[in-house]
Homo-oligomer: A and B are copies of this chain.
Amino acid sequence: MLSTTEENYLKALLQLTLEQSPKTEAGTNGLAAHLGVKPATANDMLKKLKEKKLINYEKYGKSSLTAQGRKLAIEVVRKHRLWETFLYEKLGFTWDEVHEVAEQLEHIQSQKLIDRLDKLLNYPSFDPHGDIIPTAKGELKMPVKKTLNEEEVGHNCKMIGVKDNSAAFLQYVDKVGLSMHNHIKVLARQTYDELIEIEVNGKQSSVSPRFAENIVIVCEDCEKKNKKTAKKKA
């Protein structure tokens, strides 16, 4: 049985190596920063988790999850997102309130509790933030990340990042009415000047391809399609 702390380290490693970037390894300092502890503290835990064969770690090297560590990390993420969904759907929490409480609830040890919660929520695929909930079998399909420029007309997507971090660009993003986690619908693409018409929060705008290729999004329609395909296979 893992401690709450050990679970948090595995989850952090999963997020650092699979969700937040294309990397598959994470450094000691980055991990420590992500968890809000000092590098010395993270270093101790890395040695301990390697001992338990949950991570790959060599002195002065980067770390990654083993198959077993990844399995456990995904279980924690599944519990976290199911609890967030419960708080949002059943208890009327707002989307910004759920995370903090889910950080505590994700460590409750009871397989039956999670199975029943999943059932109560009617086996949800996404949490209130639009993130994918890993399946009971431990499958975690990574969201299909692409730029707004690559999105199909008619599709709905969510902004999850930017490629250009310049102040000028970010101010322009703001002016267009976009911000992180906003839902965007691609209405049309003008053949004449390539401008992309989008709708955000009920407001329409047109953006250039130059602008759109710096907005990282995840296509929600593609996510749903993936989910359905997975269900048919099962």
> Taking beta carbons and an 8 Å cutoff, which residues of A are in contact with B?
87, 90-93, 97, 100-101, 104-105, 108-110, 112-113, 116-117, 120
Q: Which residues of B lie under 8 Å from residue A120 when comparing CB positions?
A: 90-91
CA distance A92 to B93 in the complex (A): 23
Q: Give which listed residue, B91, B92, B110, contacts A101 with CB less than 8 A.
A: B110
Closest CB in chain B relative to A99 CB, distance in Å: 12
A-B contact pairs, 14 of them (CB 8 A): A87-B113, A91-B116, A91-B117, A91-B120, A92-B116, A100-B110, A101-B108, A101-B110, A101-B112, A101-B113, A104-B108, A104-B109, A104-B110, A105-B108
Residues of B within 8 A of A110 (CB): 100-101, 104
Nearest chain B CB to A8 CB, angstrom units: 16
Q: How far is the CA of A198 from the CA of B80 in the complex (A)?
A: 49
Q: What's the Cα separation between A110 and B105 when bound, in Å?
A: 11
Q: Nearest residue in B to A101 (C-beta to C-beta)?
A: B110
Q: How far is the CB of A7 from chain B (nearest CB, A)?
A: 13
Contact yes or no, A116 B93, CB < 8 A: yes
B112 touches A93 (CB 8 A): yes
**B-side contacts of A90, CB under 8 Å:** 120
Given contacts A93-B116, A104-B109, A104-B110, 10 further A-B pairs with CB under 8 A are A87-B113, A90-B120, A91-B113, A91-B117, A91-B120, A93-B112, A100-B110, A101-B110, A101-B112, A105-B108
For A92, what are the chain B residues with a Cβ–Cβ distance below 8 Å? 116
In the docked arrangement, what's the CA distance between A127 and B199, Å?
49
Bound Cα distance A90, B92 (Å): 16
Q: Complex Cα distance A105/B116, Å?
A: 15
Q: How far is the CA of A108 from the CA of B110 in the complex (A)?
A: 15
Which residues on B sit within 8 Å (CB–CB) of A87? Answer: 113
Residues of B within 8 A of A100 (CB): 110
Bound-complex Cα distance A87 to B116 (A): 9
Ranked 3 nearest A-B pairs via Cβ: A91-B116, A101-B110, A104-B108
A176 to chain B, nearest CB (A): 34
In the complex, what's the smallest C-beta–C-beta distance from A189 to chain B, in angstroms? 44
A103 CB to closest chain B CB (Å) equals 10
